[in-house]
Amino acid sequence: MNDYQKIEKAIEFIQANLKAQPVLDEVAEAIHLSPFHFQRLFTKWAGVSPKKFLQYLSLNYAKDLLKEGNSPLSEVAYEVGLSGGSRLHDLFVTMEAMTPGEYKNQGEQLVIRYSFHTSHFGDFILASTPKGICHLSFVENPELGLSLLRQEWPKAQFIHLPETNEPFAKAIFNGEKSLSPIPLNLKGTPFQLKVWDALLRIPEGQLSSYSQMAECIGEPTASRAVGTAIGSNPIAYLIPCHRVIRKVGGLGGYRWGITRKVAMIGWEAARLEQETEKLA
């Protein structure tokens, strides 16, 4: 069991016993570590103690973030004209839609470079075309991850090229931003692309609801369709679908596991608070 898997087990236990507010010793025992080693492991991963992390998992905390997150999203006008590329995320990401021909022919004559990496949130498969990243998915089994990628692009040619994708992986998860933005090359309907574009506008450490997302893209009655588009997001973490939760309470679903979604929300909240304290 790697470090993230231990963290995930701890978060599952904390979530299951949230009302009881479990103490350090109880969580450590649940994942078969001494309190000392668990405290050190968790603090190294999250940047804060398990006790501090617990507050980020509360429903009241999530509701407060929804209120705070509503303002910056409501001020953004989402216009998706992706034929020439759309510059997003303070120029950190560029997004370009695949052509109708590329979409229709299921990757025929398309070369996809894939590789496997590890991150704060577990192992993942990363795939790119000459135009940019087309897929990022957390995987427990590399063979299964590649099989699912092949199903998405049944006629494409696949080449294992970790050296090509490594700079992307570092920029996404290690904060090693390059001088040029991370390019995304996405296959989706116009509506899906519009929703994924909107997801990129949610700041780190903030949350939005499905209904807020629907309002922001000018489709206030399309919350269910927005949820479906969010669920089909092909780029985990970088297109932050983990930052969308239910307005009435509860985290909603997550393609790569609800515990991973909780881990991401809590980790980002802790990092934001640390940055705020540094600036204070």
Q: Which residues are catalytic?
A: 241
Sign of CA dihedral 265, 270, 275, 276: positive
- Bridge partner list, 122: 119
Distance of CA 169 to CAs 83, 115, 117, 130, Å?
Answer: 25, 10, 7, 16
DSSP annotation string for 29-88: HHTT--HHHHHHHHHHHHSS-HHHHHHTTSHHHHHHHHHHHHHHHHT------GGG-EEE
**Dist CA 274 CA 106 (whole Å):** 44
Q: Cα-Cα-Cα-Cα dihedral of 132, 239, 99, 223, to 10°?
A: 180
AA letter at 170: K
Decide if 117 contacts 161 (C-beta within 8 A): no
Residue 223: name the closest of 236, 213, 238, 231 by CA.
213
Please list the alpha-helical segments (H only) found in 200-257. Answer: 210-216, 223-231
**Structure tokens that stand for 124 in this block:** 């993942």
- If residue 244 lies in a helix (H) or strand (E), which one and from where to where? strand 244-245
